[in-house]
């Protein structure tokens, strides 16, 4: 009975490590993708906003779009950008924000090799980085816990 219990604990621990490693790899991939996107938009230029639009992305959820233009070297680029955040629950809140945003100067962030890939927002992916770090800290903790249990319990984990 005790051998069966030890074996099931080992299987559970191994399964937990596989799941957490998979989540960690996924979070690492998401973080690296967002970091690449952030680093890719390395140049900026003053942008002129030509129009704002509010779109209902889901029932009761509204996003803001901006039509803008900027100068990338010798090329004048016109783009449309949908702000991924914030998303509003009502059209009037989004309209109020457009009124405030319309008075502020904007910068377009773009890739110098491909200026058509531009954005009005450039945010460091801190949240994804923290999630990735937490996953890897948990993996390291569980690995060290396994070593500790093996060393001090006198039980071979193989």
Q: Which of 3-7, 31-35, 43-47, 97-101 has the lowest mean pLDDT?
A: 3-7
- Token readout for 13 is 């621990």
What's this model's pTM, rounded to 2 decimal places?
0.74
pLDDT in tens, 25-54: 999 999 999 999 999 999 999 999 999 999
Mark whether 144 and 110 lie in a shared domain: no
Task: Compute, in degrees rounded to 10, the torsion defined by CA atoms 13, 129, 82, 86.
Answer: 90
pLDDT band, residue 106 (cuts 50/70/90): very high
Residue 158: inside a domain, yes or no? no
Could you tell me if 27 and 132 are in contact, meaning their C-beta atoms sit under 8 angstroms apart? yes
Do both 66 and 106 map to the same domain? yes
Query: What is the span of the domain harbouring residue 112?
Result: 43-121
């Amino acid at each position: 009975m005790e051998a069966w219990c030890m074996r099931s604990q080992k299987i559970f621990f191994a399964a937990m490590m596989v799941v957490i490693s998979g989540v960690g790899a996924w979070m690492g991939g998401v973080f690296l993708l967002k970091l690449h996107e952030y680093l890719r938009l390395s140049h900026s230029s003053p942008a002129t906003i030509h129009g704002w639009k509010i779109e209902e992305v889901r029932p009761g959820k509204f996003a803001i779009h901006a039509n803008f233009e900027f100068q990338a070297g010798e090329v004048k680029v016109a783009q449309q950008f949908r702000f991924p955040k914030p998303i509003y629950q009502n059209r009037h809140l989004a309209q109020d924000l457009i009124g405030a945003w319309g008075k502020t100067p904007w910068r377009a962030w773009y890739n110098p090799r491909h200026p058509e890939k531009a954005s009005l927002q450039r945010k460091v992916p801190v949240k994804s980085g923290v999630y990735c770090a937490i996953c890897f800290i948990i993996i390291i903790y569980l690995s060290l816990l396994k070593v500790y249990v093996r060393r001090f319990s006198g039980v071979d984990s193989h």
